[in-house]
């Protein structure tokens, strides 16, 4: 953790919840982080299935995490024995336990996550050429597949929990990875065990990223007083209270918050100073010299003002007598 005087060894391998937390503390939470476990040797040799799912897409707080899990097709029975289920259907304790089982089976399973920071989500959604959350999500899934390919995984079949209409997404992934079987489905996290495992990795990593969240904008005494900020879902009263209590009139919120969410925007419109951004197109609205033809028949008392030279216009230079 930043500001921690104890020199910590950089975590290379996440093998349980403890090392996961240490790893998360070592990341700059305003940026994305990417982690991939070691790949079981047999997964490089024999055909594998690979599942992909996400956690934290909806909430106004914290990172969105994309997770993947992989194992040999022949080990399906062993995978089923772990009793992974849709992460949302499990209690937090059960998820944490299953996560440790997944990490603790390096000869059976490989797994990886991309932690997409709230700041990175806002920056994408509020960029000039809008980069939608759907696209961010797909690109993250694609990144995980590429990382598995690069690590030498012998992929046979990829199962993905869908973002939007499954047919379109599946066709898109197939166009990028024509050599793999790809199944994109709704509720894949409860249908396919390998997607369940991926969803557990993603969900546990997101939950712990929140639990160790280091508010870089606050001094330690403020950090300690923050306490709980809730689930991050707009309806959660704890989250609502957090958004009210930690709103800065000028800057809005700490970087934990996704500014691009309607909930955050509405709250800022109500309680923070109004901020106006420069127009996307700075071009003048009516073309210069475009005078209505009828104007030539009207008498005008206005004196003709000579237009400023282009040099000044291009530099926003004006004569100011009042300010």
Options 14, 188, 205, 255; binder of other proteins; rule CB under 8 A: 255
Chain positions 81 to 110 lying near other proteins, rule: CB under 8 A, are: none
Cβ closer to other proteins: 3 or 178? 3
State the minimum distance, in angstroms, from the CB of residue 124 to other proteins. 8
Task: Look up residue 21 and give its two tokens.
Answer: 């937390």
| CA–CA distance, 280 with 136 (Å, rounded to integer) | 22
292 near other proteins (CB under 8 A): no
| DSSP designation for 256 | T
Binding to other proteins (CB under 8 A) within 235-254 occurs at: 248-252, 254
Nearest to 149 by CA among 259, 48, 60, 241: 48
Cβ atoms of 43 and 79 within 8 Å: the answer is no
Residue among 148, 258, 263, 267 that touches other proteins (CB under 8 A): 258
Comparing C-alpha atoms, which of 202, 197, 207 is closest to residue 21? 207
3-state secondary structure at position 174: helix
SS3 53: strand
Which is nearer to other proteins, 41 or 248 (by Cβ)?
A: 248
* Given 24, 43, 103, 122, the residue binding other proteins (CB under 8 A): 122
Return the DSSP state at 35. E
Please give the DSSP secondary-structure letter assigned to residue 266: H
List 5, 12, 91, 127, residue binding other proteins (CB under 8 A) = 127
Taking the complex as a whole, the smallest distance from the CB of residue 255 to other proteins amounts, in Å, to 7
Nearer to other proteins, 89 or 317 (CB): 317
How many CB atoms sit inside 10 A of residue 56's CB?
25
SS (H, E, C) 95-152: HHHHHHHHHCCCCCCEEEEEEECHHHHHHHHCCCCCCCHHHHHHHHHHHHHHHHHHCC
Give 125 or 142: the residue with its C-beta nearer to other proteins: 125
Minimum separation from the CB atom of position 218 to other proteins (A): 7
Tokens of 143: 């990144």
Piece in contact with other proteins (CB under 8 A), picked from 78-86, 141-149, 186-194, 315-323 = 315-323
**What track of x and - describes contact with other proteins for positions 265 through 284 (by CB under 8 A)?**
---x----xxxxxx------
Residue 72, helix vs strand vs coil: strand
Binding mask 181-220 for other proteins (x = CB under 8 A): -----------------------------------xxx--
138 vs 264 by CB, closer to other proteins: 264
Q: Using the rule CB under 8 A, is 306 a contact of other proteins? A: no
Q: With contacts defined by CB under 8 A, how many residues of the chain interact with other proteins?
A: 35
Work out which of 19, 22, 26, 30 binds other proteins, going by CB under 8 A. Answer: 30
Using alpha carbons, select from 91, 54, 1, 97 the residue that is nearest to residue 189.
54
Distance CA 286, CA 105 (A): 67
User: Which residues of this protein are in contact with other proteins, per CB under 8 A?
Assistant: 30, 119, 122-123, 125-128, 216-218, 248-252, 254-255, 258-260, 264, 268, 273-278, 314-317, 321-322
């Amino acid at each position: 953790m930043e500001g921690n005087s104890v020199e910590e060894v950089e975590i290379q391998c996440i093998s349980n919840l403890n090392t996961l937390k240490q790893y998360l503390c070592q990341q700059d939470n305003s940026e994305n982080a990417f982690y991939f476990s070691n790949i079981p040797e047999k997964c490089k040799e024999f055909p594998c299935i690979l599942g992909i799912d996400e956690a934290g897409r909806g909430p106004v707080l914290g990172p969105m995490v994309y997770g993947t899990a992989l194992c040999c097709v022949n080990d399906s029975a062993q995978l089923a024995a772990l009793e992974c289920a849709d992460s949302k259907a499990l209690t937090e304790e059960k998820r944490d336990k299953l996560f440790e089982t997944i990490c603790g089976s390096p000869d059976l399973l490989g797994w990886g996550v991309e932690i997409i920071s709230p700041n990175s989500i806002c920056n994408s959604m509020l960029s000039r050429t809008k980069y939608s959350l759907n696209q961010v999500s797909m690109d993250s899934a694609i990144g995980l597949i590429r990382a598995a390919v690069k690590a030498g995984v012998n992929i046979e079949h990829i199962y993905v929990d869908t973002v939007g209409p499954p047919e379109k997404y599946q066709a898109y992934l197939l166009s990028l990875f024509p050599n793999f079987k790809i199944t994109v489905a709704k509720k894949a996290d409860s249908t396919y065990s390998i997607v369940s495992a991926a969803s557990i990795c993603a969900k546990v990593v997101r939950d712990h990223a929140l639990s160790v969240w280091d508010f870089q904008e606050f001094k330690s005494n403020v950090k300690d007083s923050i306490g709980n900020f809730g689930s991050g879902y707009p309806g959660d009263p704890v989250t609502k209270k957090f958004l009210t209590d930690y709103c800065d009139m000028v800057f809005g919120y700490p970087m934990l918050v996704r500014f691009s969410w309607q909930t955050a925007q509405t709250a800022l419109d109500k309680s923070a100073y109004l901020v106006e951004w420069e127009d996307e197109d700075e071009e003048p609205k009516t073309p210069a010299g475009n005078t209505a033809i009828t104007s030539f028949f009207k008498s005008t008392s206005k004196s003709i003002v000579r237009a400023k030279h282009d040099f000044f216009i291009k530099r926003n230079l004006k004569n100011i007598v009042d300010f």
